[in-house]
Structure 1
Amino acid sequence: MTHTRTVLLGLTLALVSHGAAQTMLETATTIGVQNTLQSAGTPSLPTINLPTQPAGTTTSAPAPVVTPLTADQQALLDQARAAYQAGNLPTARRLYEQLVTQNYTNPAPHFGLALTLFAQNDDRGAAFELQQFTVLAPDRFEGPYNLGVLATRGGRHDEALKFYTQAADLMKDQAGPAEQRQVLEALAAEQTRKADFTGLTTTLAGIATIDPQDLNVQYRLAQARTLSGQGAAALPGVYALLQAAPERTDAALLLADIYVAQGLPDRALRELDAAAPRVKTGEERATLLLRKAAILTQTGDTRAAVFAAQAATREDPKNAAAFAREGELRAGRNDRPGALTAYQNAVKLDPQNATYRAGLAGVRLTLGQNAQAQADAARALTLRPDDATLARALFVQGVAAYRQGQYALARTALTSSQTRAPSADTALWLGLSAYAAKDYAAAATALGDSVKLNPTPTARVNLGSALLATARYPEAEAVLRGLVSENPRNAEAWYLLGLAQRAQARETEARTSLKAAAALGSTRALEALK
């Protein structure tokens, strides 16, 4: 189901956001510590090295013996809790440490001390105390859960996943609905981060059981099922969600994506059309229309895709992305004036967007507006573009410079573009720029690269010319002979082939080639025959 995951890539972000910043969990249990803390700071957590058994031994650690608190120790525990809840952390820490000294084998002081140290941003100390708590109270879920919180804060996500899984297994008979959901949300966040959508489906199903009226959970569950390759199984949940909340744009988009992944794009389009009257705002209708444009593009109906994108701009006239999409689609259909207008609108709405500016530059280049294209490309380069946009802007800058006779600038820009994103077109223009600067060896190298990436007749004939200029006559002849064999009406190839043969002192063959070029209208071949 690789295609499914590609279609739904943007939707996975909704899954990640839930539980991304976990808090310590404190429940009213026999342990007796309450009031959930908020995370503060993100110091890294050290690895805790537990003692290992010598090789060959099979003994297991004895079961821990918990010593009950005495009446005086219980009173001291109450004082420590009161200090902690009042925010008097130094006093709370001192009292908890005193209790640990008096009764090390009771879990309550370790748990209270862990929470106090956590509140003081002492993650190392908190982790140690939680480890002692889990040894003394191995059946409690709070220990592994809170160790998971520390692991998440420390960026150790595999370890966090392990701890949250342990907590989820332990909590079933001891935690209330709110605490169960908190643990499951934390587990869901780590499963999402790991792209374990099968496990995520199970976790979200558990959350949905806890709170069956939460429509957002229903949506996330349908997402997870779809991303795990169970798109068809997700459909009943999506339709139920739309019955409860027919105006939800995200559910309509997910529904369409599921049908696309099932190879039913026409059904997806009908679902999007049906959803449009149900949504509440023009912005939401524009979102649906842009998805429709994307699906139509995938099916090859680019004309209808243009109309869908154009309709999106009417629904949401401030949507720069909609205008940019229209521009991209019109450019793909060679509607250059229409693409220019659309991209100009996108740039006007979002002048700091490097991608839109580079798109505008590319359209100007196709219209021969070289100076303006060069200026727009230069502007895009100042807007922190991503790698693909950077390479595109450098390409436009280079071609525009070449067309204006600025060969040194052209070579610099095109070389930089080719380094970032090698392509046959970039190599071709780089070769032409080097040739124009009379650096024929560099031209031959670049044009050779272009031919390797895409052996178009244009690249090959220019390579033949560059090889001739560097006196590599046999190589030039081989390239040019291949061209005239494939296309006997290529006058330029015949002319250059004649020059290559003449340079190797094969005048009879040269004149035959030059006559073929002259017959096809080459004036240079006529001059060479005199």
Structure 2
Amino acid sequence: MTQPNLKVLLGLLLATSPAASAQTLLDTSAAISVQNTLQQTGTPVRPQVPTLPSPAATPTGTNGPSPAAAPAPPPPPPFTEQQQAALTQAQTALGAGQLPQARTLFERLIAQNYRQPEPHFGLGLTLLAQGNLKGAAFEFTQLSTLAPGRPEGPYNLGVIATREGRYADAQRLYGEAAALARTQASPATQRQVLEALAAEQTRAGEFAALSATLAEITALDPQDVDAQFRLAQAQVLAGQGAAALPGAYAVLERQPQRLDAALLVADIYVGQGLPDRALRELDTAAGRVKTGGERATLLLRKADILAARGDTRGAVLAAQAATREDGRSAAAFARLAELHTQRKDRPAALAAYQKATALAPQNAGYWTGQAAVRLSLGQIAAAARDAAQAQRLSPDPATLAHAQFVQGVAAYRQGQYGPARAALRSSTLKAPSAEAYLWLGLSAYALKDYAGAATALGESVKLNPTPTARQNLASALLASARYAEAEAILRGLVSDNPGSGEAWYLLGLAQRAQAREPEARQSFKTAAHLGNTQAKGALK
């Protein structure tokens, strides 16, 4: 399966608590989805900005790591009445988005009472909102030093690290914030911090740690079915498929029509080596879901499992059923085309690809698949047109390389050797393959670029030493006057396949070019005996 990209949402959530001393503005960095090879996750609900206890009521230095593991600082001087009013004014300006005014007020308060953490926190949030990451990091570091028991310091330092691409630092800081939040914050705040930690664990592919984090999230909110599903996915990705089953079934028990959970259950059984059980689960789920599109998705997964077992006929039938359930699904027709291609039913494959390209004309992959099928059917000009269309759609590198390969082979078969060489060379640069190098070598040979042909064919042989590639390489070496190298390859060919008259004939040419006439005549005789007409002429 293709794997979808990890997306991380960074946004500043500003809120003002009823009491000025309990200001708890937190930036948030929540994962939108868990990247995996099974099925994309649901989007978690962004938690609301919580309210923490006021700093004066919060124990410090005893519940969680501090940045330097230093003793708790002495308590700061209390705010004067005037300073408290200024703090309220600054927080109100920040909440209203009046950032320059907020910055001025917070800086003035810091100058008046430096050891009070709240102005540092407010200034850090203000600078963060203004995009001044360096200044914000300084203030959040001061906050962590002055109030080591509060999670806001390491949390927002983690946000800055994420924005700067320092993902390992971000994960560490979110972990510190989570440890503090467990004993110092409300469940909503804990959830927010844990979501940020989960996002970084997902990015790093640390699925065992992610499972532990998501287990904490589900414990905080046992009613969150999406979180339970994400936990099951993380467990599967951590290699704990059997352990994930109870959670996945619990999701289905509460939401029987949930498609992604049904797919996950099937994938778990496949991973456990129980494909028949997976197929039965998919059949059962097909009776629960509501729409034809959802049934088509289940049927396509069934087709994949059947194809992996070697039952391509059953896979075709499942994919055909998917197209009947959702006649607007280009993906279903494309998968059907791929399965027909596996069974070498090329006319049926072409018909399915034509439906896919008609439904999704901007999909370069479908045009490339259609071009390849046309090429195999001998529809050379049409294959070239489809490959050109695919390239106009800005495909991904792998698809572009395949389209260029088809274009190159089509050009070669039309006698357009220069364009063929150019297209095939581009293809091999993006996705080296034995077949692409083979056709590149043939194109170079047709242009009498024998050295280039030998180089390309040599690469083809390295990747897949088929008799065809080896024989063509020998021909290119002969044309380049590299007779000893050609002879070595040809001796291996006739040893592996003594019935190849062409290989014996080429061996004779290599021997004759090295002035070893008796050996050459013997090779020619063997080739002639095998029916090679050129060898008969060489004996005259």
Residue pair 1:25, 1:142 contacting (<8 A) in 2 also: no
Which residue number in structure 2 is paired with residue 33 of structure 1?
23
Match of 1:444 in 2: 454
Identify the match of residue 167 of structure 2 among 148, 151, 157.
157
1:333-482 aligned within 5 A? 333-482=343-492
Distance 2:81 2:515 in 1: 113
Cα pair 1:323 1:342 within 8 Å, conserved: yes
Tell me how far 1:208 sits from its aligned partner. Answer: 0.9
Deviates more, 1:188-197 or 1:74-83: 74-83
CA distance in 2, matches of 1:221, 1:297: 29
Q: In 1, Cα distance between the equivalents of 2:87 and 2:215?
A: 39
1:367-403 deviations in Å (ceiling 9; x for gaps)? 1111111122122222222222122112111111111
Instruction: Pick which of 497-506 and 306-315 moved more.
Output: 497-506
Question: 2:9 corresponds to which letter in structure 1?
Answer: A
What is the deviation of 1:144? 1.8
Q: Which residue of 1 aligns with 2:504?
A: 494
- CA distance, structure 2, for counterparts of residue 37 and residue 466 of structure 1: 65
Deviation at residue 22 of structure 1 after TM alignment: 4.7
2:268 matched to 1:258? Answer: yes
The farther-off stretch of 252-261 and 58-67 is 58-67
Measure the CA separation in 2 of the matches of 1:512 and 1:33: 96
What is the count of residue pairs matched by the alignment? 501
Cα 1:30–1:78, aligned 2, differ >3 Å: closer, same or farther?
closer
How far, CA to CA, are the matches of 1:66 and 1:420 in structure 2? 63
Q: Superposition pairs for residues 56-67 of structure 1, below 5 Å?
A: 63-67=73-77
1:107 pairs with 2:117: yes
- Find the aligned partners of 1:512 and 1:255 in 2 and give their Cα distance: 66
- Tell me: CA distance 1:79–1:514, structure 2 relative to 1, closer, same or farther (3 Å): closer
Cα 1:436–1:120 change in 2 (3 A) is closer
AA aligned opposite 1:333:
R
> Could you say if the C-alpha distance between residues 60 and 247 of structure 1 is closer, same or farther in structure 2, counting changes exceeding 3 Å?
closer
Aligned to 2:130: 120
Aligned residue in 2 for 1:513:
523
Task: After superposition, give the CA deviation of every residue in 1:19-43 in whole Å (9 maximum; x if it has no partner).
Answer: 632545768578421566789xxxx
Find the counterpart in structure 1 of residue 292 from structure 2: 282
Q: Which residue of structure 1 lines up, in the alignment, with residue 40 of structure 2?
A: none
Once residues 296 and 315 of structure 2 are traced to their aligned partners in structure 1, the CA distance between those partners, rounded to angstroms, is 13
Deviation at 1:135, TM superposition (A): 1.6
Give the secondary structure class of the aligned counterpart of 1:129: helix
Contact 1:287–1:312 (CA<8 Å) still a contact in 2? Answer: yes
Once the 2 structures are TM-superposed, how far is the Cα of residue 221 of structure 1 from its aligned partner? 0.7
Match of residue 249 from structure 1: 259
Percent same amino acid among aligned pairs?
64
Q: TM-score, normalised by structure 2?
A: 0.86
Provide the C-alpha distance between the structure 1 equivalents of 2:174 and 2:492, rounded to a whole number of angstroms. Answer: 65
- Asked if the contact 1:394/1:416 (under 8 Å) is kept, the reply is yes
Deviation at 1:82, TM superposition (A): 3.2
Matched, 1:70 2:80: yes
Aligned partner of residue 10 in structure 2, secondary structure? coil
The C-alpha deviation readout for 1:454-487, integer Å capped at 9, x for no partner, is 2222222222323333333333333323322322
Aligned equivalents of 2:162, 2:226: Cα separation in 1: 24
Tell me how far 1:289 sits from its aligned partner: 1.6
* Separation (CA, whole Å) in 2 of partners of 1:503 and 1:119: 79
Instruction: Tell me by how many angstroms 1:505 deviates.
Output: 4.2
Give 1:62 deviation, angstroms. 6.9
Task: Give the alignment partner of residue 177 of structure 1, picking from 184, 187, 192.
Answer: 187
1:38 and 1:477 mapped to 2: Cα distance?
69
